[in-house]
Amino acid sequence: SAQRPRPRVLLKAPTLAEMEEMNVSEEEESP
């Protein structure tokens, strides 16, 4: 079969709101 094994390493993701917070703080830090 051409099927591959299921990917194993779960990449943890922040929520959409957390991403926004991180993005805002990065923008604030930049001059």
Partner 1 sequence: RQVTVQRKEKDFQGMLEYHKEDEALLIRNLVTDLKPQALAGTVPCLPAYILYMCIRHADYVNDDLKVHSLLTSTINGIKKVLKKHNDDFEMTSFWLSNTCRLLHCLKQYSGDEGFMTQNTAKQNEHCLTNFDLTEYRQVLSDLSIQIYQQLIKISEGLLQPMIVSAMLENESIQGLSGVKPTGYRKRTSSLADGDNSYCLEAIIRQMNSFHTVMCDQGLDPEIILQVFKQLFYMINAVTLNNLLLRKDVCSWSTGMQLRYNISQLEEWLRGRNLHQREVAETMEPLIQAAQLLQLKKKSPEDAEAICSLCTALSTQQIVKILNLYTPLNEFEERVTVAFIRTIQAQLQERNDPQHLLLDFKHMFPVLFPFNPSSLTMDSIHIPACLNLEFLSEV
Task: Give the span between the Cα atoms of 31 and 28, in whole angstroms.
Answer: 7
Rounded to the nearest whole angstrom, what is the least distance from the CB of residue 15 to partner 1 in the complex?
7
> Does 2 engage in binding with partner 1 (CB under 8 A)?
yes
Q: Does 4 bind partner 1 (CB under 8 A)?
A: yes
Question: What DSSP character marks residue 16?
Answer: H
Applying CB under 8 A, does 29 fall inside the site for partner 1?
no
Q: Could you say whether residue 25 binds partner 1 (CB under 8 A)?
A: no
Asked if 19 and 12 touch (Cβ cutoff 8 Å), the reply is no
- Residues lying near partner 1 in the complex (CB under 8 A) are found at 2-16, 19-20, 22-23
